[in-house]
Structure formats: structure tokens, C-alpha cells
């Protein structure tokens, strides 16, 4: 994994408040170069994690903005790395100035999805949870939001883990029977229980396969053509 310290604007343009996220081994050191806490004698590196520190972003003697800096230490952050988040005023000029100062002192701009990629590589989430982050950002209804939140919180991953454990259990019972097949008097598993377990596993797999098409319809909608005679009420139906 690339060990660069990365930075990026984390908020949409046009708001009153803007946020810049910094992540990597040198995140705290680089942020300290451009940030001075309002409380004299207090260094950012000495602050406790999960705290906000008020102060100024500066370029030499020039004050860029008064900001709040959030501090997170590895591995207890979104990416699993040392991280800071600079909350400043939402002016595009201010955000770009802060970004350029961070780059000047050793950061590089993050690539698309790189924060979530690092979270995955550092074991903070699995692939299905990483995919759900994009779905959550793009959610436009209660249904898509609920679906993405469930997946991001590990709902789908837990089902797969449980299914894997059941398959391993089933496989181990079958292998025992095969290993001792010459000893007819030995029976390691009740045949009825094995059939019941196999049916249950098949049912879970079928439900998960079916859930893909349902989830896809919730996320992307279903193409529908409204067809009928002239003045049959097509536009009225569409408007409703």
C-alpha cells in the first residue's frame, strides 16, 4: 500500500463550512506545520485523540482562516491511520489555500475513493462494506439509504460469514463419514440433520441471490413504459 500522507476536500462546494481530511503516517506532523492552536504553548501533537482544537491556519505570517482541527490516532480512525480533519469556512479560496499548504509540506492529493481503499487495506472494513460507502453517498431515498446502511454496518458480511461457517461444518461432517466409511458401525452425523442443514444452506444462498435483483431495483429503479390510448390518463398517472 502507498504510504504517502494524503489530503482532500471532504465537503461539497457552496456551503458555509468546509472540511479537509488528512490521513497517513505524517498527518499530524504536516498539519502542525500550518496550524497554531489558540491556546499558547499547546501543540497539536500533544492533544488527545477524538478532540477538537481551535486555532489558526497560517502561511508564514499570513493568517488564512480560523479553524477547528479534529485529531484521530491509528488504528482508531476511518482509514486506520493517523488522521486530522480541518474544518474551516466554506470559501473555495480558503479550501484551496489550505490544500496547497498541506501539499507544500508533504501531502499529496488523494485519488478517488482512496480513503475507503485505505480503510479496506487496513482491515477497517471488508469489500462489501467498502462498496456500500459509495451506495450510501449516492442514496436518494429512504430505501436506498436503509440498504446501504445495513450493508456498511456489516449485515451482508455477517450473513456470508455465518453461511461459510455452516458450509465448513457440513463439509467436516461429510469428510468424517468418508474417512471412516469402512466402519459401518460409526456414524458421525444424523442423516436427517445433514439433509436439514443442506436444505437450510441452499435456502440462504437462494435468498441472497434473489436479494441482488431486489437491491438492484431499489438502487437503480425499474425502467417502466406507460403506454395507452390518447387521453387515457398517462400523464396524470406519471404526475401522481
DSSP class per residue in the chain:
-----EEEE-S-TTSSEEEEEEESTTHHHHHHHHEEESSTT--GGGSPTTEEEEEEEEETTEEEEEEEEEEE-TTSSSSSS-EEEEEEE--HHHHHHHHHHHHHTT-EEPPTTHHHHHHHHTTSS-HHHHHHHHHHHH--SHHHHHHHHHHHTTHHHHHHHHHHHHHHHHHHHHHHHHHTTT-TT--SS-HHHHHHHHHHHHHHHHHHHHHHHHHHHHHH--------STTSSHHHHHH-
Q: What is the CATH number of domain 6-121?
A: 3.30.1360.120
Q: Where exactly are the structural domains of the chain?
A: 6-121, 127-220
What pLDDT, on a 0 to 100 scale, did the predictor assign at position 181?
67
What is this structure's pTM? Answer: 0.70
Q: 57-108 pLDDT, tens per residue?
A: 999 999 999 999 999 999 999 999 999 999 999 999 999 999 999 999 999 9
User: Class of 127-220 per CATH?
Assistant: mainly alpha
Show the low-confidence residues of the chain (pLDDT under 70): 1, 181-189
- Does the fold of domain 127-220 match that of domain 6-121? no
Amino acid at each position: 500500500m502507498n504510504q504517502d500522507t494524503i489530503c482532500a476536500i471532504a465537503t461539497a462546494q457552496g456551503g458555509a463550512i468546509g472540511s479537509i481530511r488528512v490521513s497517513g503516517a505524517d498527518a499530524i506532523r504536516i498539519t502542525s506545520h500550518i496550524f497554531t492552536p489558540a491556546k499558547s504553548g499547546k501543540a497539536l501533537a500533544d492533544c488527545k485523540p477524538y478532540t477538537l482544537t481551535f486555532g489558526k491556519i497560517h502561511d508564514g505570517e499570513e493568517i488564512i482562516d480560523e479553524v477547528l482541527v479534529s485529531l484521530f490516532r491509528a488504528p482508531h480512525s476511518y482509514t486506520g491511520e493517523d488522521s486530522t480533519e480541518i474544518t474551516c469556512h466554506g470559501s473555495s479560496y480558503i479550501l484551496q489555500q489550505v490544500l496547497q499548504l498541506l501539499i507544500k509540506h508533504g501531502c499529496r492529493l488523494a485519488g478517488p475513493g482512496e480513503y475507503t481503499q485505505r480503510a479496506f487495506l487496513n482491515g477497517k472494513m471488508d469489500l462489501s462494506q467498502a462498496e456500500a460507502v459509495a451506495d450510501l453517498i449516492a442514496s436518494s431515498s429512504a430505501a436506498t439509504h436503509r440498504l446501504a446502511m445495513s450493508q456498511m454496518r456489516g449485515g451482508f458480511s455477517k450473513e456470508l460469514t455465518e453461511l461459510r461457517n455452516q458450509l465448513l461444518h457440513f463439509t467436516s461432517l461429510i469428510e468424517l463419514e468418508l474417512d471412516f466409511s469402512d466402519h459401518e458401525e460409526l456414524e458421525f452425523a444424523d442423516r436427517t440433520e445433514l439433509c436439514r442443514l443442506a436444505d437450510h444452506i441452499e435456502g440462504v444462498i437462494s435468498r441472497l441471490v434473489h436479494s441482488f435483483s431486489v437491491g438492484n431495483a431499489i438502487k437503480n429503479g425499474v425502467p417502466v413504459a406507460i403506454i395507452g390510448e390518447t387521453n387515457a390518463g398517462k400523464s396524470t398517472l406519471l404526475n401522481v
